[in-house]
Amino acid sequence: MQNGKDKPPSYFYYRKFLILFVFSLLLSCIINIQQPYTQGEYQLGDIARENIKSPADLYAPLGDITIKKDEVIVREGERISEEHLRKLSAFNLLEKGEGFTLKRFIVIFFVLFLFVIVLYEYGEKNIKKFSLTQKDLIFCATLTLLSIFLARGFSLVFDHYAPNHTLTLFYIIPIFFYGIILRIVLFSEVAILFSTVFAVALGFSFDSSITVLLYAFLGNVLASYFSGKCENRNTILKAGLYTSFVISFFVLLLDVLSGQPLSNLPMKIAFIILNGVASSFIALGFLPVIEHLFDYTTDIKLLELANFENPLLEEMMVNAPGTYHHSIIVGNLSKAAAESIGAHPLLARVSAYYHDIGKLKMPHYFIENRTGVEDPHKELTPSMSALIILNHVKEGVELAEKYKLGRKITEVVRQHHGKSLVSYFYSKAKELEDPKLHTIKEQDFRYAGPKPQTKETGIIMLADAVEAASRVLEDPTPKRIESHVQGIIENIFLDGQLDESELTLKDLNAIQKSFIAILLGIFHHRIEYPERTQNGGVDKKLSKVDSDRQQEHSKTYKRITNLFRASR
């Protein structure tokens, strides 16, 4: 996928600043949400344990409360009334700070906006794989806002009902799902950069706490790390648990460093483990919604599409069996090749299953689906035959969109032939061309493209060509298979079809070796078993008892078969 680093500025280049501006503005609003007053430690009817004095002058317009410095709010032994609770709430706000102020809001907004812009621009210019479309950016901003809003909501509840235990209760807030979702939906570079933004915003939400910032950043980076290769739903559950275990040790170190008492540590660890489990379940619940709303193809969706009972694969198995078996072999070749170069094996394998779904429209026009049927291309001109072959890519894209296979697989269907030439019908057309007219143009016999934009699509292009050509390979000895694979890869490379796929020469060498290993397994030699005879050759002469038993069995079998014949 091209990241646009070398492209001229487009509308998205300017619109991304607007998106980040709105994102920073909304994030600042969420961070600065404050309660008008909090209830405090005491409840209505409680007995005050000590005198409570105001440390400073305080005026709360919302509660119409005025408190002078050193004024006694509640005297020791006095029963708490509603008036006391109102003053205690204002007093709690005074202890926490000034609440919402325009100055604080503006400063936090500019700090966040500058921080987000610098971080995003750094990723765009210096991290090779950091490439976000407008949809990706909106998704990251939306997920961050929802996650901060969730954490802020929990903190306000804790402030209201347990103001003296807010910092301990903070660890029960599920925040690790943020890193899990970003890693599964997008990729690790995005998870790291936006986890940094998330951690800074969360730190501001909790009185600029460096402990909260470090906890949130490291926790989400670990969560994204443990959910990296998500090939089943258990991976998400393990990611939450593993993250909570590591973070528990990290919190222990922070408490020791800050000199806090360790009496609350068991409770904190229990909260962190609950955080990890809850984050896993939240991620599992959110992922299907995200896939539907933003049209993302996650690893979990790929696993669902890999099921051979998928309607498209079942239809292909019945109506285009040759294409179906070809796609399965291409999937195996692609997976092995992707593993050899560090690409995405699951994406390569599942995309290969669907890369030729466009052939379902007119399956008998493709040779692998013809079994003794007359060639329909005999009645067509080479140009018309080429048009039918070329059109299977367009029809495949339409089917992928109809069955909602996702953008990644749809792009593989669109790009797996690149701009390659349908050489058979082009050569046939050149043979029938009038040499004086020169009406046959090579461009008319090439696929529309684009060329493969990812390593996985490039691998599928190579696997598709290798598997199709290997069907006509005579006497598939190891040496001949090696030359055959090498020749096909070289031709595709020299035709420039892999120029935009980020595949290197080293990658192509590894892909070639993996293809050869798979094909050697497919075309391995078998021994020829001798035909078994009754009493000569390999069979020993039967004993008289066994011979009589076999003859009796033969007579019974003949009577049964004659009975069926008579009934017809």
C-alpha–C-alpha distance, residues 54 and 58, integer Å: 8
- Output the pLDDT for position 3: 43
Could you tell me whether strands 58-60 and 65-67 are parallel, antiparallel, or unpaired per DSSP bridges? antiparallel
Residue 511 near residue 337 (C-beta atoms within 8 A): yes
Query: Distance (Å, rounded) from C-alpha 243 to C-alpha 272?
Result: 9
**Two tokens at 521?**
């397994």
Residues of the chain with pLDDT under 70: 1-13, 34-46, 48-50, 52-67, 69-70, 84-101, 163-164, 372-373, 434, 436-437, 524-568
So what's the pLDDT on residue 509? 94
**Tokens 């033969």 sit at which residue?**
554
Burial of 565 (0-12, 13-18, 19+ CB in 10 A): exposed
Q: How many CB atoms lie within 10 A of CB 338?
A: 24
- Burial class for 128, CB neighbours closer than 10 Å (0-12, 13-18, 19+): exposed
pLDDT of amino acid 102: 80
The pLDDT of residue 101: 67
Can you tell me the distance from the alpha carbon of 231 to that of 335, in angstroms, rounded to the nearest whole number?
Answer: 14
How many CB atoms are closer than 10 A to CB 157?
Answer: 14
Longest Cα–Cα distance in the chain: 121
Whether this model's pTM surpasses 0.75 = no
Residue 296 in contact with residue 407, Cβ under 8 Å? yes
